[in-house]
Amino acid sequence: MKRLNNQVAIVTGAGRGIGKAIASHYAREGAKVVIAELDESLGKKLEGELTSSGAEALFIKTDVSKLADIEALTQATQQYFGSIDVLVNNAGVTKSLGFFEVSEDDWDWIHGVTSKGLFFCMQSVARVMKAQGHGRIVNIASIAGKGYPSTSNISYAGAKGAVIAMTRIAASTLASDNINVNAICPGVTRTELYYEVVKGKIKTLGKSEAEIIEMFDGTIPIKRSNEPEDIADLAVFLASNEARNVTGQSWNVDGGLVCD
């Protein structure tokens, strides 16, 4: 039997990278997937891919930095599928910035999506889950939130640290409503952003892509960076009944970079 059979799951930022991998894994495990994505072309493309494979999927254009969009997402999901069993808060933004380069606009942009948007998604969907008497929330944090120094910038690290803290408080608050809340903290992961960084290093260091990737992987104890699927595998477990007694935890998937 599929582990998420007939579960209704919202995945924010599902158009690419980790979010797309999670949405695809959930669909394969029998979930009805809501693709909450700001980029309409990416969202519709994934919706088509999932439905053509036989899954039930719905794209809803969503900017999680806007509370009106979050409420519209929750209401539309309920109206279309009748329930919300799983929420994956994956949407997040960042860019490479030095300590003295972070501006107020950068701070507001990063926190508006990565921490503020995540909280209000939790709040909105948890109201539905509370009424249902059950639910699973999976927040995508980062080892940056645990102080990993090779982060994209300090504001992003702070936002992801907030995600970890909110995961713990939400888990405690919502436990009596049978709502499990956990976080996944990816390390170096081969997403589109990762390859953009690789391209930059190719130009500055004059090395090949393979050499740059080998250099990056060399800093990881297990000598292997994540594929998005590595995060998706854990996200399936945390959404499934196998994790019914797991809540308030922040799981590192990083090849041993951070032991916390």
Residues 242 and 120 in one domain: yes
Q: Is 156 a catalytic residue?
A: yes
pLDDT of residue 243: 98
pLDDT of residue 193: 78
Residues 56 and 94 in one domain: yes
What's the predicted TM-score (pTM) here? 0.95
pLDDT of residue 27: 98
What is the radius of gyration, based on Cα positions, of the chain? 18
Q: 87: which 2 tokens? A: 């929420």
Quick one: average pLDDT of 163-167? Answer: 98
Residues 6+ apart with CB under 8 A from 60: 34, 35, 36, 37, 43, 72, 73, 76, 77
Residues 134 and 205 in one domain: no
State yes or no: pLDDT of 19 exceeds 90: yes
pLDDT digits (tens, 9 = 90+) for 107-142: 999 999 999 999 999 999 999 999 999 999 999 999
pLDDT of residue 260: 86
Residues 43 and 123 in one domain: yes
173 in any annotated domain? yes
* Cβ–Cβ under 8 Å, residues 233 and 203: no
Q: What is the CATH number of the domain that holds 165?
A: 3.40.50.720
State yes or no: pLDDT of 197 exceeds 80: no
pLDDT of residue 97: 87
Residues 20 and 134 in one domain: yes
Residues 6+ apart with CB under 8 A from 9: 23, 26, 31, 32, 33, 34, 85, 86, 87, 88, 239
| Helical packing angle, 228-239 and 17-28, nearest 10° | 50
Residues 126 and 184 in one domain: yes
pLDDT digits (tens, 9 = 90+) for 204-256: 889 999 999 999 899 999 999 999 999 999 999 999 999 999 999 999 999 99
From 26, 156, 194, 195, active-site residue: 156
According to DSSP H, which parts of the chain are helical? 17-28, 40-52, 67-81, 104-111, 118-132, 154-174, 192-205, 209-217, 228-239
Indicate the pLDDT class of residue 96, thresholds 50, 70 and 90.
confident
Secondary structure of residue 14 in the 3-state scheme: coil
Phi, psi of 149 (to 5 degrees): -70, -25
* Cβ–Cβ under 8 Å, residues 87 and 135: yes
Domain that holds residue 199: 190-225
121 in any annotated domain? yes
